[in-house]
Amino acid sequence: MLRFMSAGESHGECMVAIIEGLPAGLYIDENIINQDLFRRQQGYGRGGRMQIERDTVKILTGLKAKKTLGSPITLMIKNKDFKINELPAITQPRPGHADLSGAIKYGFSDMRCVLERASARETVVRVAAGAIAKIFLSEFGIKISSKVISVGGQTNSKKIKEKIDFARNKKDTLGGIFEVAVMNVPAGLGSYVHYDRRLDARLALALMSIPAIKAVEFGMGFEAANKLGSQVHDQISYSLKKGFFRLTNNAGGLEGGMSNAQTIIARCGMKPIATLGNPLKTIDFKTKKPVKASVQRSDISAVEAAGVIGESMSALVIADAFMERFGSDDLRRIKKAFKLK
């Protein structure tokens, strides 16, 4: 089983991830990880934090001569904006954020104790971990990409920038939709046997775990609910060169909880970021009186960056399912098993 755990706070000393389950013998190029970390910081509408941080990874464990040992890998990314003990307490919960529910759950009176961990800053180590999963998948020709479909309902890149500028001037925020594509996935990853092994369910869980994501669809998605079956299901064909293949990809590469050898297509709907420069009404947690929500440094829109995070989460799930099917301890043995597929 491939799994990872992250640790760290937004303004803490560092963000850390431990990845367990990667096979031995995989060459890890830190430059590839850092490229994805850079991509995560890009996109029109990003906030001031991106001007402070220059995210680079340090691999602390699990490698010898840049090759995996099969033991847990520890990744660390330092926070330049390390000042968690200097920041003021917060008692004005933001609508749409984890502030209030988190304070009630853990018994905090200071909501900074919530937002430091609930912050999207945590995703920096998800991207680092996902980059390693992508390195593994690339050994088998599997590639993952993402693109922005829309921001604030706009699809044209020029109009998207105009919409973001409009929101910035109003001290407001925007969400949008991004798409993740996983190409060259072999058939049979995942399983129809148990609910928790279904690949679409595992991908949905991973993608929905990204902060601000409120919807996930695969292939035709919600549109399929309004059509006839004859307009939805992908007809099957066969050739000596291709083997079995579909004539369309309305299923988004997933049937019966398994990959079907077509490109896996996932689209995610991201709500507007919860921190507004012109804050909404709320109730002070201590005084119980009406106030304006707290204002923290934030983005206007981060849909492009969320797509990079979506790539990483998808890569971790696909890599896990891949090793379930073809083995998980030694890269050479996995490659032999893959050739026999």
Specify the CATH number for the domain of residue 29.
Answer: 3.60.150.10
pLDDT at 48 over 70: no
Cα Rg of the chain (Å, integer):
21
| Residue 49's pLDDT band (cuts 50, 70, 90) | low
> Within 13 A of 300's CA, how many CA atoms are on the CB side?
20
**pLDDT for residue 51:** 64
In a 3-state reduction of DSSP, which class is residue 80? Answer: coil
How confident is the model over 237-254, as pLDDT tens digits? 999 998 999 999 999 999
pTM for this one?
0.95
The mean per-residue pLDDT over the stretch 147-152 comes to 98
Residue 191 C-beta-side C-alpha neighbours within 13 Å: 10
What integer pLDDT is reported at residue 226 of this predicted model? 97
Q: Hey, CA dihedral for 145, 22, 15, 56, is it positive or negative?
A: negative
Token reading at 190: 């995942």
pLDDT cut 90: percent of the chain above it: 93
Residue 284, pLDDT above cutoff 80: yes
**Which letter, b or e, does each residue of 322-333 get, where b requires 16 or more Cβ atoms within 10 Å of its Cβ?**
bbbbbbbeebee
pLDDT at 235: 97
Q: In 159-317, at which residue ranges do the beta strands (DSSP E only) sit?
A: 176-183, 213-218, 236-239, 243-246, 254-255, 258-259, 264-270, 281-283, 290-292
Nearest Cα neighbor of 266 from 279, 253, 276, 247 is 253
User: What's the rounded Cα separation, in Å, for the pair 12 and 152?
Assistant: 32
Under the banding of pLDDT at 50, 70 and 90, the label for residue 298 is: confident
Residue 61 clears pLDDT 90, i.e. is over it: yes
Domain that holds residue 121: 3-339
Give how many domains the chain has, as a whole number: 1
pLDDT above 70: residue 50: no
Region 86-100: mean pLDDT is: 95
